[in-house]
Structure 1
């Protein structure tokens, strides 16, 4: 089978590998679509991400969907020819996090594309059947691949406790920021503000129904929040950019007693407030890491039109042009790039 491997920093190469053999509880998935995530780009550009260092060659990609072509002897949840979205993390199942239902925090998690586990930029992947989810006929394979970033956004909004009538600020108009905004609106948020430095991303957010967009190169987000939304600040801030300047403004923009959820991964940044300020403001500062138990709800939300993941896609490229796709995805104007692995889909 063809596999796209990261063979050096900034170098992706198509190589031949043996097709994987499946265990009794696994399925073999012919990968059709793979979304390019910000973590993939970080590995591509730097050879590491959040302390995880690549041992070359390494296969990237964890946002994927495809078609089941073989099933293990113990599998009865899916069948050959089923179109499926692939949940990319395999938890150990035995630790306290797994047994308490918080499997996304498992310290022994094997996560696609996170070294040393290879990712989905390959023609075939063997994966546990319990972690693949059939797609309805009216959900495309590309939408199936984007269930993963939608799940990240859903989990973040759950962490933030967004509910009917809440006011929300989202810093960063990349794929997660766009999807967090959409999920917040679907949960009944009354006013959603999104910030970025790239005009194209702000225009996309406008088209997708965000109430206010802020170009931080020319406007102060905190002033916009207090003048257009609420003089006391917003109920919930989602920091999805990872930018130090955005992190610093979160506690300025949230009202006393409000919640700040950190989703974007910064290169190097501290907390946005000292202890005295946190006490006085009684802020809840929360991290949001990956997701859990979201795939079925996300797929149903896409099917019903509650969520529009296809709308964040900037481009789709064939497998043979994966390196060019990564280079294009790095451009500030790009929101989400997708690689079409299979020539038959």
Structure 2
């Protein structure tokens, strides 16, 4: 049962984030009430903070931000049988309506009527308490920390994207963007068998490129303001030994998309993961004439089980990604740091850190 107020990080408009009390909701028959333990800050949260949303998801009412979270089950809905009070879980914040055509063919991640957190119609979970569908809560093994549980959401994004373009043994992979999702894509690509990887980002985020190198990238490229597209393409080909087989574009920027196309081999595959500019100019004749597959990925599609397994079994190590820790009372500063790209993964702790871990974890 809830024993404290439900404080939440509520966005009222661009750069108007407030910490305020919200009601604690009762779980529906197929839901659980969760006490949120840890919440990571994502790029989409920053888009909401800076611009009031992204694409069609512009703010129409105050919403709670946050969706990379783990928590403890505190109350069960009347028909929940697969979880029990006290279970530690990772929270998949995207769920379909279960009845539309998209859901029925397994595309719940882009269901138009689903509960996707946060969107303009649904609150996120950077709050002390949060009700959610029980089947979207995944039990954490004892050897997985609550922080790692919160990072399963961006890892699932990366796994979904890498699966879509069929990263496999021996793949030569280009990753554009060394933010948290780009770094997660690097981790996922290497776990899936990529043998050569190159990560690009702006020179001003050197700390992120340094992290990519630490995580095992074959090489990183710091982009300067005077660098030309074709010169960067040549550098990529030189590092990989050939054009890229697979590309994960994680910035949503026009330069990122253009260089991705130019760097890919004939019949290669590109996945556009990042959300950025609404309109871009791309060398599409080049892409078409070389039959490059350009795909998009939104959220994930039943990739949380794989994310749990890869972390629990030591196939991937997410701990080095965490750069900052904040208590909920300091959530405004946490979002400021995230919005300035001053770190890698920013964690907000809604209970004292390590309270709900089964053992002591060291980053």
TM over 0.5: yes
Distance 2:89 2:106 in 1: 23
**Structure-to-structure mapping, 1:212-227, within 5 angstroms:** 212-217=219-224, 220-227=231-238
Q: How many residues align?
A: 343
Pick aligned residue for 2:216 from 194, 209, 217? 209
Distance 1:338 1:214 in 2: 27
Pick aligned residue for 1:301 from 289, 310, 316? 310
Q: Does 1:159 align with 2:168?
A: no
Shift in CA distance, 17/280, structure 1 to aligned 2, threshold 3 Å = closer
Shift of 1:271: 5.4
Aligned to 2:33: 28
Over the aligned positions, Cα root-mean-square deviation in angstroms equals 1.5
Aligned to 1:259: 269
Contact 2:55–2:278 (CA<8 Å) still a contact in 1? no
Instruction: Please give the per-residue CA displacement for 1:199-244, whole angstroms capped at 9, x wherever unaligned.
Output: 111110111111111111176431112222234x110111101222
Aligned to 2:239: 228
**Structure-to-structure mapping, 1:121-270, within 5 angstroms:** 121-197=126-202, 198-217=205-224, 220-231=231-242, 233-270=243-280
Query: Which TM-score applies when normalising by structure 2?
Result: 0.91
Gaps of 5+ in 1: none
Deviates more, 1:100-109 or 1:80-89: 100-109
Aligned to 1:338: 347
Distance 1:271 1:130 in 2: 41
Aligned to 1:285: 294
Contact 1:12–1:322 (CA<8 Å) still a contact in 2? no
Aligned to 1:328: 337
The secondary structure found in structure 1 opposite 2:99 is: coil
Contact 1:5–1:15 (CA<8 Å) still a contact in 2? yes
Instruction: Please give the per-residue CA displacement for 1:100-121, whole angstroms capped at 9, x wherever unaligned.
Output: 1222121212211111101101
Instruction: Please give the per-residue CA displacement for 1:240-260, whole angstroms capped at 9, x wherever unaligned.
Output: 012221111111100111111
Deviates more, 1:163-172 or 1:6-15: 6-15
Contact 1:11–1:323 (CA<8 Å) still a contact in 2? no
Shift in CA distance, 196/183, structure 1 to aligned 2, threshold 3 Å = same
Distance 1:199 1:326 in 2: 20
Distance 1:49 1:17 in 2: 25
Instruction: Please give the per-residue CA displacement for 1:51-70, whole angstroms capped at 9, x wherever unaligned.
Output: 21213421101111100011
Distance 2:288 2:41 in 1: 40
